[in-house]
Structure formats: structure tokens, C-alpha cells
């Protein structure tokens, strides 16, 4: 009997892996965009540190199953309806590390719960999100009205530091994540033209979603969150991409904002983080 192993998928095969998910959108769209994100990032930095895409025994062509590790982030996806390949692949992850298992489908929830139980994982959080989705054609119909005295521009690495300091989901390693998102992905910030104060902001996460969308408390209820959401949707549409966000189900205000803008509910995703069992760099 062959012993299961996680085998790195070489960069030369990432486009082929990506294209396995070029169907059944919007369900598979975040997976497609996640792989494309790292194809793009690899072109920027040929030596991405603490990063790899693995398959179970090199069998990714059979059902698209892969596990992606990027510093403290872990993603996994599969086209295997039985979840067998996912379970076996996740069983080989080093669970002594603290992973943020990000944006996994409810269809894989049972497999993740089995891994949590089998490996006796202590959790920092385990939360569901609602996916809100808008096609690019609809986004191009948005009108962007910028309030007098303000301007929209892409975020910088310095802006990412401030965004991380106010991000409710910040953790060890998240500042570097937001810096990369600011420098390497699409982003939108609303700024005071006189003081350069950052009034609202939105990043594009590695799976292609609007993310880390935030408005400081003192600037809420002014429509700034809606403005940067629309501006990001237009920017992505002009790049040929649809828009979607993963919103905490308890965050009814954000869900309502996306709904009013025409973003449709297309399902649920889950986010889980386990506690490290040894000294590691990113322990939550």
C-alpha cells in the first residue's frame, strides 16, 4: 500500500491546475483567482518565501485537489465530491503550526471538522461567512461620486500598516499580508486631500475578493464604505473580473450594504484558525 505524501506542484503546472476550476462559476471562481493571484505574485517575486502548493501523491490532475500554504495562511480546494482526497491531504498538514484555514467551501466543512477532531486541534476561531457576488457587467454601471475635498487612490505599503492596526482580524503576519496586497494587488483608498488622512479602504484578497474593508469609527455613516466598495468593483470590472466579498454572517450591516449594491448571496465559506502547539513565527 502506497504511503500518502504531499507533493509540491511545480510552477510550470499552476496554469493547468487553475484551468481545472474554469467552470461552475461563481462557486469555483475564488479558487481560479487564488491560483492566478500566486501566478502573478510569482512573476513579481520568483522566490516567494514560506509558500508552496501541494497535491496528494501528485494526483492533482485527477480531481484538482490541492493544499496551498502561504506563511500562516492555508487554503484547500477540490473537485472530488467524496471529500476523500481532501481528508487525506489535510491529514498530512503539520498541525503543530497555527494555520488560518481560509475561505473553504461548506461542501468541505465535514472534512475539516474531522481533521479538527482527529488532530485534537484547539481553535482560535471557527466562523462562517456569506459570499456576496456581483458580475462585472453590473459593476460597470456604478457611478462613483467622490465627496468634495477627498480623493480615491491605490493603497501604499504605509497605508497597509495603518489598515492592519485598525483591522479587527489582524494577527501576527497580517501586516505583511496587507502590505503585499497593497503593493501587488488592486486596492482602493479614500483620502482627505488636505491632511492625507485615510478615510476608508478596501483590498483585494488572494482569492480575488474584496477584503479588509474598513472605515474608522469617526468616519462611519458617511457612505464611505459604500464608495470604496463601488470603486473597487469598477476597478476589478475594468480588469475583466467579477466582484465578491466574504462577509461575517453576524455582520448584518455589511451584508445589507452589499445587498443594496446588488451583490447576490451565492453561498457560504468558512474560516478556521488553530492554536500553535510549538514555538512558531505566526502563532495568531
**Grid cell locating 49:** 518565501
Instruction: Let me know if residue 284 belongs to a domain.
Output: no
- In this structure, are 104 and 38 located in the same domain? yes
Q: What is the pLDDT of residues 221-251, one digit of tens each?
A: 899 999 999 999 999 999 999 999 999 999 9
Instruction: Let me know if residue 261 belongs to a domain.
Output: no
- In this structure, are 46 and 124 located in the same domain? yes
- In this structure, are 101 and 11 located in the same domain? yes
Q: What is the pLDDT of residues 92-113, one digit of tens each?
A: 999 999 999 999 999 999 999 9
**Grid cell locating 59:** 494526483
pLDDT, position 284: 53
pLDDT, position 264: 97
Give the integer Cα–Cα distance in Å for 117 and 129.
22
Q: What is the pLDDT of residues 56-66, one digit of tens each?
A: 999 999 999 99
pLDDT, position 283: 57
- In this structure, are 46 and 143 located in the same domain? no
* DSSP secondary structure code for residue 213 in this structure: E
- In this structure, are 121 and 26 located in the same domain? yes
* DSSP secondary structure code for residue 280 in this structure: -
Give the integer Cα–Cα distance in Å for 185 and 115.
32
Instruction: Let me know if residue 38 belongs to a domain.
Output: yes
Global pTM value? 0.94
DSSP element (H, E) containing 273: strand 264-274
* Chain mean pLDDT for the chain: 95
- In this structure, are 179 and 231 located in the same domain? yes
Q: The domain spanning residue 87 has which CATH number?
A: 3.40.630.30
- In this structure, are 101 and 177 located in the same domain? no
When pLDDT is cut at 50, 70 and 90, the band that residue 114 belongs to is very high
Instruction: Let me know if residue 251 belongs to a domain.
Output: no
Instruction: Let me know if residue 65 belongs to a domain.
Output: yes
- In this structure, are 10 and 119 located in the same domain? yes
Q: Would you call 181 helix, strand, or coil by DSSP?
A: helix
Percent of the chain scored above 90 by pLDDT? Answer: 89
When pLDDT is cut at 50, 70 and 90, the band that residue 172 belongs to is confident
Number of separate domains in the chain: 2
- In this structure, are 104 and 187 located in the same domain? no
* Helix orientation angle between 174-184 and 29-44, rounded to the nearest 10 degrees: 80
How far, in Å, are 26, 36, 223, 232 from residue 132 at the CA level? 10, 21, 19, 14
pLDDT above 80 (res 3):
yes
- In this structure, are 155 and 121 located in the same domain? no
pLDDT above 90 (res 141):
yes
Q: What is the largest CA-CA distance in the chain?
A: 69
When pLDDT is cut at 50, 70 and 90, the band that residue 278 belongs to is confident
Instruction: Let me know if residue 263 belongs to a domain.
Output: no
- In this structure, are 38 and 120 located in the same domain? yes
pLDDT above 80 (res 1):
no
- In this structure, are 106 and 168 located in the same domain? no
When pLDDT is cut at 50, 70 and 90, the band that residue 48 belongs to is confident
Instruction: Let me know if residue 210 belongs to a domain.
Output: yes
Q: Where are the beta strands (DSSP E) in the chain?
A: 6-8, 51-56, 66-70, 73-77, 100-105, 123-134, 150-153, 187-192, 198-204, 210-214, 243-248, 264-274
How far, in Å, are 106, 198, 206 from residue 73 at the CA level? 18, 27, 10
Instruction: Let me know if residue 250 belongs to a domain.
Output: no
Domain that includes residue 236, residue range:
136-241
Amino acid at each position: 500500500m502506497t504511503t500518502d505524501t504531499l507533493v509540491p506542484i511545480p510552477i510550470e503546472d499552476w496554469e493547468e491546475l487553475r484551468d481545472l476550476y474554469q467552470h461552475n462559476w461563481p462557486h469555483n471562481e475564488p479558487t481560479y483567482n487564488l491560483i492566478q493571484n500566486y501566478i502573478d505574485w510569482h512573476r513579481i517575486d520568483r522566490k516567494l518565501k514560506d509558500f508552496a502548493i501541494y497535491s496528494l501523491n501528485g494526483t492533482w490532475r485527477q480531481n484538482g485537489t490541492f493544499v496551498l500554504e502561504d506563511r500562516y495562511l492555508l487554503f484547500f480546494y477540490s473537485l472530488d465530491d467524496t471529500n476523500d482526497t481532501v481528508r487525506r491531504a489535510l491529514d498530512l498538514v503539520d498541525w503543530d503550526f497555527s494555520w488560518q484555514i481560509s475561505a473553504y467551501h461548506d461542501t468541505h466543512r465535514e472534512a475539516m471538522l474531522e481533521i479538527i477532531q482527529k488532530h485534537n486541534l484547539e481553535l482560535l476561531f471557527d466562523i462562517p461567512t456569506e459570499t456576496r457576488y456581483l458580475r462585472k457587467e453590473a459593476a460597470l454601471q456604478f457611478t462613483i461620486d467622490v465627496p468634495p475635498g477627498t480623493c480615491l487612490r491605490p493603497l501604499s505599503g504605509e497605508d497597509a500598516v495603518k489598515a492592519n492596526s485598525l483591522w479587527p482580524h489582524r494577527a501576527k503576519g497580517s501586516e505583511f499580508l496587507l502590505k503585499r496586497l497593497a503593493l501587488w494587488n488592486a486596492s482602493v483608498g479614500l483620502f482627505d486631500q488636505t491632511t492625507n488622512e485615510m478615510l476608508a479602504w478596501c483590498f483585494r484578497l488572494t482569492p480575488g475578493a474584496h477584503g479588509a474593508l474598513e472605515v474608522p469609527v469617526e468616519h462611519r455613516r458617511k457612505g464611505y464604505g459604500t464608495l470604496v466598495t463601488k470603486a473597487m468593483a469598477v476597478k476589478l470590472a475594468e480588469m475583466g473580473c467579477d466582484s465578491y466579498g466574504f462577509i461575517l454572517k453576524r455582520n448584518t450591516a455589511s451584508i445589507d450594504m452589499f445587498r443594496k449594491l446588488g451583490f447576490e448571496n451565492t453561498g457560504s465559506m468558512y474560516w478556521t484558525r488553530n492554536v500553535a502547539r510549538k514555538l512558531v513565527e505566526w502563532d495568531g
